[in-house]
Amino acid sequence: MTDLTVLPNGSLMADPGERGRFGGHGGRFVPESLIPACAELEEAFREAWADQRFRRDLDRLLAVYAGRPTALTPAWRLSAELGINVLLKREDLAHTGSHKINNVLGQALLARRMGKTRLIAETGAGQHGVATATAAALLGLEATVYMGAKDVERQALNVFRMELLGAEVIPVTGGSRTLKDATSEALRHWVTRVDDTHYCIGSVMGPHPYPWIVRELQRVVGEEARAQCAAELRTGVPDYVVACIGGGSNAAGTFAGFVDTPAQLIGVEAEGGAAVAFGRVGVLHGFRSYVLQDEDGQVSEAHSIAAGLDYPGIGPEHAFLNDSGRARYVTVSDEEVIPAVRRLARTEGILPALESAHAIAWVIRAAESGELPPFCTVLVTLSGRGDKDIHTIREAA
């Protein structure tokens, strides 16, 4: 167990301070040339986040453009089958089909406030790339998206979407030609263009201040869910709060709304990308956390049926929540995911993203094994819709 008082103001999921540390995790492990850009960004975010006008502008975009608040839907028939009470936080209903728009709108507004005219982003399956291209179009910014060459081939439709939205997509041919390499390339490019370019990171990862900024921008998911649960539940707070984890942004945003309640927080990793279960502490993309690596400390490839969970690391704050015991991290295998998609589709008429189906799959397993007590209440963040995954689901059938 780590000492919980190591955070500057003593509370969990608070401001991680100037060094951006979450217990022994986090930090800012970047080339000397990026330190000023990170410091400038931190200061700009601190100012903006304390500025009521910035908050009002963002809230307005989230409402009139992204479609917030998203619904909290009781999963009536699935609940009856499992003998528990499942509530779904519907990020699948947000514009572009996932929670990613919350983060991207905030960072794009921040970039504009800082006088930047270009956004760059990394993307794996293309969901964060599409969200970034969308926000750039909305605010009249240029967008360049780095994507592993292998992913460019696998996700041709999302490449076309980004181009339709006016973004330039750059295939990254180094390394394993996937998300890990796209992220490294975006960081390298940022070094050369910090004057007019904001690097819009897609999850609670990267050097400080990114894990903190992205968690704060996703906090809206947890805060809305908290208020909606208060209205929906006799107890006011669910017994369990469950979310899937790639880098960990939808989970971090959700947990932020419940970290000060008695709710048990559960993060669900893909078995093939389970940094908490199978990783060791290391440095990746500018931060220290649990990372999948081989015996020589080389970062391993993650493998998941859900492209959005194909990341060998986990956000540093999750590593800390794990060490402190405040949140628990579990894994779900590819084989459990497709049945979970089908079950939610047939019981509720909702087709979840393969990523989100990991959270559903854990709830089903835990309810059926008796790990979840009868009649308990479980909030699940449904991070995105499954339309993008139709081909994968059909092939797996």
Ligand X SMILES: *Cc1c(COP(=O)(O)O)cnc(C)c1O
Where along the sequence are the contacts to ligand X (CB under 6 A)?
A: 98, 100, 127, 203, 244-250, 308, 353, 355-356, 383-384
Smallest CA-to-CA distance from 245 within 225, 266, 267, 278 is with 267
In terms of CB distance, is 110 or 360 closer to ligand X?
Answer: 360
In terms of CB distance, is 85 or 132 closer to ligand X?
Answer: 132
CA distances for 184 relative to 30, 111, 117, 187, 190, angstroms: 11, 21, 22, 5, 10
Smallest CA-to-CA distance from 289 within 55, 20, 4, 24 is with 24
Annotated catalytic residue, options 42, 89, 100, 356: 100
- Is residue 150 helix, strand or coil? helix
Shortest Å, Cβ 384 to ligand X: 2
Residue 93 near residue 67, CB atoms below 8 Å: yes
In terms of CB distance, is 133 or 194 closer to ligand X?
Answer: 133
In terms of CB distance, is 182 or 194 closer to ligand X?
Answer: 182
CA distance 112 to 119: 10
Instruction: Report which secondary-structure segment, H or E, holds 223.
Output: helix 210-232
Annotated catalytic residue, options 180, 271, 383, 388: 383
In terms of CB distance, is 69 or 313 closer to ligand X?
Answer: 313
In terms of CB distance, is 194 or 350 closer to ligand X?
Answer: 350
Smallest CA-to-CA distance from 187 within 39, 314, 37, 24 is with 37
Shortest Å, Cβ 325 to ligand X: 21
Q: Which residue is nearest to ligand X (CB)?
A: 384
In terms of CB distance, is 27 or 352 closer to ligand X?
Answer: 352
Residue 359 near residue 330, CB atoms below 8 Å: no
Q: Which two tokens stand for residue 299?
A: 């970062």
383 annotated active-site = yes
CA distance 340 to 332: 11
335 annotated active-site = no
CA distance 123 to 152: 10
Residue 281 near residue 290, CB atoms below 8 Å: yes
Shortest Å, Cβ 298 to ligand X: 23
Strand blocks (E) in 124-273 = 142-148, 168-172, 197-199, 240-245, 264-270
Shortest Å, Cβ 193 to ligand X: 25
Sign, CA torsion 103/109/115/119? positive
Annotated catalytic residue, options 42, 91, 122, 348: 122
Shortest Å, Cβ 311 to ligand X: 8
Shortest Å, Cβ 148 to ligand X: 15
Q: 197: how many CB neighbours lie within 10 A of its CB?
A: 21
Shortest Å, Cβ 214 to ligand X: 8
Active-site positions read 100, 122, 383
